[in-house]
Amino acid sequence: MPVFSRIFSICLRIGEIAFGAVVAGIIGHYLHLYSGADVWPEARWIYTEVIAGLSILLGVLFLIPFAAGFYAWPVDFIISLAWFAAFGALVNMIHRLDCGGIWDWGFVRRSGICARFKAAEAFSFLSAIFWLVSGLVGIWFVSRARRTAVANGPPGKRGWFRRNP
């Protein structure tokens, strides 16, 4: 079973990096358009861009295959909550643009500002879900590792009746 959890974790990390990159690209495009303007872009864009960048960085770091990455499940939950907050900020922004309901995906097939913001909204939600599932996999891995350690006893303390490996 440890092979399954490691492969599943790697797939989740790749998804987290990809979703963070898509959101960073979409929001970064709009931040670039407003770079020469006298008016600053809204703080929700900057927040979403920071969360996307942090998500990409942590996803790459946790992608390195070692067991300590599973013990970072609290970070996974914190990033998941940050992504849910970014999703909420983007949903609030879409209501101002009059792009339809939150779950109205008809605009995604067209080009334009509504399609891009709907895509950023969708990928921020998917990223939040992937980080949440990654945290749950980390909790499962850690609890399984603790049960195995308790069942095997402390390392180096074998009874006289047990055979050496």
Structure confidence at residue 118 (pLDDT):
85
Report in angstroms the alpha-carbon separations of 117 from 38, 90, 114, 123, 153. Answer: 23, 7, 5, 10, 54
CA 32 to chain CA centroid, Å, is: 24
- Residue 52 is predicted with a pLDDT of 96
Select from 55, 43, 45 the least CA-distant residue to 13: 55
| pLDDT recorded at residue 1 | 47
Tokens representing residue 15 in the block: 């998804």
Widest CA span of the chain, in angstroms?
79
Mean pLDDT by 10 residues, the chain (165 residues): 75 94 93 74 86 94 74 90 94 77 65 82 94 90 67 55 55
CA dist., res. 156 & res. 29, Å (int): 57
Domain positions in the chain are: 2-63+72-150
Contacts of 45 (CB under 8 A, 6+ apart): 27, 30, 31
Which pLDDT does position 18 carry in this prediction?
A: 96
Tokens read off for 39: 């008016």
**Tokens 């490691």 — which residue?**
6
pTM over 0.85? The answer is: no
